[in-house]
């Protein structure tokens, strides 16, 4: 009796094929995420991703970008200047490159003057910041409030006394007391403005580029996200290895099948 050669381990091949399919399905989601985020991030400058900000509330909460604890506002001429966190807003517009908190704001002729720690900010009535005066321009240290003295003179209350300033902001006169000064006082922020400022403040705290980078790396889920992407990398390796192995095994099996077929045909002819 002729003993046939032992067939390839078909059961093992079938199991490996099934596992290869499951690994592929599990890796598909990661492939999609990595591909889409990678493509978008390659065009960061064209899409201005670093200038576009996320407005989604739950996502902002996830990143810890919470609403400010309080908003302090001052009315100056027909406008409202506010401190939201460390940012300063002219009505609803963010004032760049200046940080608060505001110590006061008021209309002063054809200007609006606002005070922050160590600086006086001079705005046009249209909201354009035209100058920022600091210690080198005579602004006293420890500034606490600004106001209008009689005859329309600008007054400052500082930690070590009071100051009057001429209309050109060139001469500073220190005095122990100042009478009849109308000091700038905070107002209740209107509800509609409060809502807009909170949305603007939170919306400027998280760029779309940051979210896409974190999605791409898995860091959007913290340390566990990094481990998850590490696991995805291992899945990709297993997928590649099992794919190549199965391809090679099938190629060998096909050649063996063709060889046996030719032998069978040769024996049939004889």
Q: How far apart are CA 60 and CA 56, in angstroms?
A: 6
pTM comes to 0.59
What's the CA gap between 125 and 91, in Å, rounded? Answer: 12
Pair of tokens at residue 212: 């896409």
Q: pLDDT, tens digit, for every residue of 34-91?
A: 778 888 888 888 888 877 777 777 777 777 777 787 899 999 989 999 999 888 999 9
- Please state, in angstroms and as integers, the Cα–Cα distance from residue 177 to each residue in 139, 168, 174, following that order: 18, 22, 9
Which segments of the chain have a pLDDT < 70?
A: 1-28, 205, 243-257, 259, 261-262, 264-265, 267-270
3-state secondary structure of 270: coil
Show the DSSP H helices in the chain as ranges: 10-41, 44-47, 57-62, 191-203, 208-217, 223-269
Please report the domains of the chain, with CATH numbers, ordered by start residue: 10-49+208-269 (no CATH), 68-201 (2.130.10.10)
**What is the reported pLDDT for 97?**
85
Per-residue model confidence (pLDDT) at position 16:
60
Q: For residue 168, what pLDDT is reported? A: 81
Predicted local confidence at residue 254, as pLDDT:
62
């Amino acid at each position: 009796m002729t003993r046939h050669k032992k067939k390839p381990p078909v059961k093992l091949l079938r199991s490996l094929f099934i596992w290869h399919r499951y690994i592929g399905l599990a890796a598909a989601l990661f492939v999609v995420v990595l591909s889409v985020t990678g493509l978008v991030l390659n065009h960061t400058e064209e899409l201005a991703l670093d200038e576009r900000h996320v407005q989604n509330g739950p996502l902002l909460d996830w990143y810890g970008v919470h609403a400010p604890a309080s908003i302090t506002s001052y009315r100056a001429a027909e406008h409202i200047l506010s401190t939201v966190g460390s940012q300063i807003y002219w009505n609803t517009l963010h004032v760049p490159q200046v940080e608060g908190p505001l110590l006061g704001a008021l209309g002063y002729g054809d200007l609006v003057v606002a005070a922050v720690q160590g600086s006086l900010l001079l705005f046009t009535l249209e909201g354009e910041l035209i100058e920022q005066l600091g210690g080198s321009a005579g602004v006293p240290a420890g500034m606490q409030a600004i106001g209008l003295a009689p005859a329309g003179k600008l007054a400052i209350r500082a930690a070590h006394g009071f100051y009057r300033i001429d209309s050109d902001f060139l001469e500073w006169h220190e005095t122990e007391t100042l009478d009849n000064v109308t000091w700038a006082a905070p107002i209740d922020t209107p509800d509609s403005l409060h809502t807009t400022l909170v949305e603007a403040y939170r919306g400027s705290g998280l760029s779309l580029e940051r979210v896409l980078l974190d999605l791409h790396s898995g860091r959007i889920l913290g340390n566990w996200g990094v481990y998850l992407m590490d696991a995805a990398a291992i899945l990709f390796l297993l997928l590649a290895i099992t794919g190549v192995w199965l391809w090679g095994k099938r190629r060998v099996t096909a050649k063996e099948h063709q060889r046996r077929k030719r032998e069978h045909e040769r024996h049939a002819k004889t």
